[in-house]
Structure 1
Amino acid sequence: MNDTVLHDLAALDGALYAAVASTDTPTLDAGLRRLSEAADHSKINLSIAAALTLLPGRSRRAGLAGAAAVALASASANLLGKQLVRRPRPDREAARVVTGRQVPMPTSASFPSGHTAAAFALATAVGSSLPAAAAPLGLLACAVGYSRVHTGVHYPADVVAGALLGTACATLTLALQNRVVAAHGRGHRMGHSSLGP
């Protein structure tokens, strides 16, 4: 990808950020600000995952997968992605983001969005085991991602990258979980066969 394409993509990203900042949405501002703050440190995601682990069967397995996926996505975004890219945060003052919708500006790099990565990791991991939860958790993940742009702390591209990263981390987590379950099943069957006549 040449420099001209990158420049154009960055210009489009900045224009989308500015368009959100300049759109007057007083009825949404407080709710999206609270959602963005509630997603700090994966509080929403881990609370949902923990609640699921208290239930039996597939729900417990989904909760464990969700918690593991959130942990992997958060670490990948914050310890790897942000350190490699080091994209500066948006200039919220220059974009004139409404004060009433703002949350504290993080000191970490902007790309990718860790909040979005964690939210999509949970939605993907849990939704694969509990299809009924896929749509609500997917909508929650999208809302968390948008809230990060709405409050002025991320560019749209940061959120898109976070969504892709979170989905990938959940897919990897589920693959590893399936291998562990399959290996446990084989070991259990072998143990039973060794007790036979």
Structure 2
Amino acid sequence: MFRSILSIVFSVFFLLGIASPAIAASNAEINAKSKQALKEFYRHSSAGKQLFQQAKGALIFPEVYKAGFGIGGEYGEGKLVENGRTTGYYSIAAASIGFQLGAQVKTEIILFMTDKALRQFKQSDGWEAGVDGSVAVVTLGAGGEIDTSTIKDPIIGFIFSNKGLMYNLSLEGSKITRK
């Protein structure tokens, strides 16, 4: 079921003309875009750099394309960083059904805060958020800052656009696969 919905979604992406740049990304392109995405992440959240440095590993998806026309989906490519080194390249995909129309590009960063969470991710053959691991998506507090002392989850997710951290979004159902 998931695969058939995903193939319909990719067809929509190709018809809209937005998936081809994402699918064709080389490792060098992913590296350059990921570096820029981290700069934006640090700019939007002063706690971002501290959390990134504390993380055992981080998935960086600099451009996740989302589109929908009744049936929707998203796709992006990124990399896993451990101890400042790239250790693998991954894709993220999700499908959805319901009222939706339009397209957007967003950045997603997933931080693995414990060795166990990172190990379970790396040992999986296609990891699904919400099934293989629960991801706590971080939003800004009332003062516009993140309280790092209250973040105790083993996996933390950030979703943002060029306008800052995005609210009420979820990574649930996103499937992450090694390229």
Normalising by structure 2, report the TM-score. 0.33
Q: When you count strand as a share of all residues, which structure comes out higher?
A: 2
Instruction: Select the structure with the greater relative contact order (CA < 8 A; seq sep ≥ 6).
Output: 1
Q: When you count helix as a share of all residues, which structure comes out higher?
A: 1
Larger radius of gyration: 1
